Structure 1
């Protein structure tokens, strides 16, 4: 199990976010349950986005000896969540949907694929 506390925070927030995000993508939109789960999902994603900024990149070139290309997903998350929230508040369904789909595809699916590449923490946990 990883010992970096930010890695643990990331794991404990991204795992429920994956489940909730998948449910939200596949379920009926706009009802009170969707709004409640959406708020929980957004909080989880914000926490995971911040936590990942404190996790050092180990693969590829680094900026300031810490940030790698994988951190672009952190930036995507920290941009998309407020964008989606405020779009929902304005009842701008098109912008909200675009931000949420982009966050799910980029922040969960694509970043998740990268997380399981050789040399990354999740790869090491699963394949030792």
Structure 2
């Protein structure tokens, strides 16, 4: 699969993730709506993290001729989602909340911010 195809698959899954994650941060916690949106958010985030592992790094240092520092956010996501889900299933709201906030700001806000750096597709779309 081409980089461009993977990039668009990633964009089409991460944009709704951002919207759902933002809503779940704002909405009342513990409701059926929060749980439903949260499950969809988790699935989309896992999907988009796996997709990014197949995308070769184009900016910055590259390891093993493929991975860059940006891929650490994929690993963060793949680790955080199951542990946050397990925490809430155990009733540990504090751990779940901390992990989900970390995921939102780490994987969506910080990693998303990097997509606007020169040499990246969204930089070209918005500033190019």
What is the root-mean-square deviation of aligned Cα atoms in Å? 1.3
Quote the Cα distance in structure 2 between the aligned partners of 1:59 and 1:22.
28
Which residue in 2 is equivalent to 1:45?
45
Quote the Cα distance in structure 2 between the aligned partners of 1:63 and 1:30.
41
Residue 88 of structure 1: CA displacement?
A: 1.0
Quote the Cα distance in structure 2 between the aligned partners of 1:3 and 1:109.
22
Residue by residue over 1:63-119, the C-alpha shift from the partner in whole angstroms, topping out at 9 and shown as x without a partner, is 111100000100011011111111111111011001100000100000011011111
Classify the secondary structure of the residue corresponding to 1:117. Answer: coil
Residue by residue over 1:8-53, the C-alpha shift from the partner in whole angstroms, topping out at 9 and shown as x without a partner, is 1110100001111001011100011100000000000000000111
Quote the Cα distance in structure 1 between the aligned partners of 2:106 and 2:64.
24
Q: Identify unmatched segments of 5+ residues in structure 1.
A: none
> Where do 1:67-82 residues align within 5 Å?
67-82=67-82
Runs of 4+ in 1 over 3 A off after TM superposition: none
Q: Tell me the number of residue pairs that the alignment of Structure 1 and Structure 2 aligns.
A: 127
How high is the TM-score relative to the length of structure 1? 0.95
